[in-house]
Amino acid sequence: MSQNQTDFGFQKVDESLKASKVAQVFDSVASRYDIMNDLMSGGLHRLWKLFALSRVGARKGMKVLDIASGTGDLARSMSGSVGSTGEVWATDINLSMLKVGRDRLLDEGCVVPLAVCDAEALPYPDQYFDRVTVAFGLRNMTHKDQALAEMYRVLRPGGKLVVLEFSRINKALEPAYDWYSFNVLPWLGKKVADDEASYRYLAESIRMHPDQETLKSMMASVGFGRTEYFNLTAGLVAVHEGVRLG
């Protein structure tokens, strides 16, 4: 085991163990992931994703990489936007989630290439993609700076990264949000997905994720230019974007 520690929710674990522990969470929740998203957010996650997609601006013929694609919401929409002359790759480090996404996409008549891969070591050539997206996946990555650097590497000059992730809510709303996160979410997880612990981890992982300004700075530090973010639902989530300028 390495001597380096990282966050797993509010726990500190060896860096070498985090990926497997996150995998256990998503193996457990994969089959109920979509219904839990609707319940937890009151359906708002669909509007958040629509806004993120508007910032992606996928067009005919573009090559797009969707990281932490999960059940495929973004990949499905972007596949229609890029058309038959473009590419949308749906990737995830978790095979269970990717299988659920594959089945959903096929059921809806959407066929895209899929790959199980680690965002910290993407198996794609330099400057291949026009867009990279990641929705609700960055906070689960062990080395976020390395993942962001990889996203930068695979983007062509002028290409854009769009990150949709939970962030820091308005301070006035924090007490109510904390109560909801650590009481209602685990209860929902237990009742609907028969997994209280995984949804407690998800609530904790949100608190440990970098805030809006910190993530913006992290993106700039690996080379992204024109970095900015948009707060949604009082900062409950944020859409960050950056462009590879050279």
Which residues contact residue 218 at a Cβ distance below 8 angstroms, ignoring those fewer than 6 apart?
Answer: 144, 145, 148, 210
Residue 218 and residue 194 in contact, taking contact as beta carbons nearer than 8 Å: no
Distance CA 154, CA 157 (A): 10
Distance CA 18, CA 37 (A): 23
Determine whether 198 is exposed, middle or buried from the number of CB atoms within 10 Å of its CB (0-12, 13-18, 19+): buried
- Of 82, 101, 81, whose CA–CA distance to 91 is shortest? 101
Residue numbering of the annotated binding site for S-adenosyl-L-methionine: 71, 92, 118-119
- Of 90, 136, 130, whose CA–CA distance to 236 is shortest? 136
List for the chain the helix, strand, coil content (%; round to 5). Answer: 50, 25, 25
- Of 80, 164, 162, 93, whose CA–CA distance to 129 is shortest? 162
Tokens 């007490």 -> residue:
175
Structure tokens at 85: 């002359």
DSSP state letter for 220: H
Residue numbering of the annotated binding site: 71, 92, 118-119
- Of 19, 21, 11, 18, whose CA–CA distance to 198 is shortest? 21
